[in-house]
Amino acid sequence: MDEKQRQIRLPAVIAAIKSLDPENDFTKDGKPETKAISALTGFDVSADERDAAVVDMEKLAKADEESKSVPVKTAARKILTGEDGLAAMAESRKPVKG
């Protein structure tokens, strides 16, 4: 399988891994069973393909965690009426003392 095919299949493999039963569909060392993934995707999934999907899932999870720790700045917005606009203009034209 070439890289293009692998990238096309990757989302299906990741979705299958996410829906596996943690108690029954993983090996003793914590890896998702390729047979269980294959049953859900409808195509044979190799151990290499599974491992690549797991690495991608870990990267996505890490990026998601990092994005949650970055504060988001929001700008307060106020809807102005015509009267508010006129009042603001009048306020800004205060006489200059001289």
Q: What single DSSP character describes residue 2? A: -
Please list the pLDDT of the chain residue by residue as tens digits (98 residues): 888 988 899 999 999 999 999 999 999 999 999 999 999 999 999 999 999 999 999 999 998 888 887 666 665 666 666 677 667 767 777 665 65
What is d(CA 34, CA 26) in angstroms, rounded to the nearest whole number? 9
Name which of 13, 22, 21 is nearest 40 in CA terms. Answer: 13
Mind listing the domains of the chain with CATH numbers? 1-98 (1.10.10)
**Contact by Cβ (8 Å): 77, 38:** no
Q: What count of other Cβ atoms lies within 10 Å of the Cβ of residue 53? A: 24
H helix or E strand, kind and range, residue 16: helix 3-18
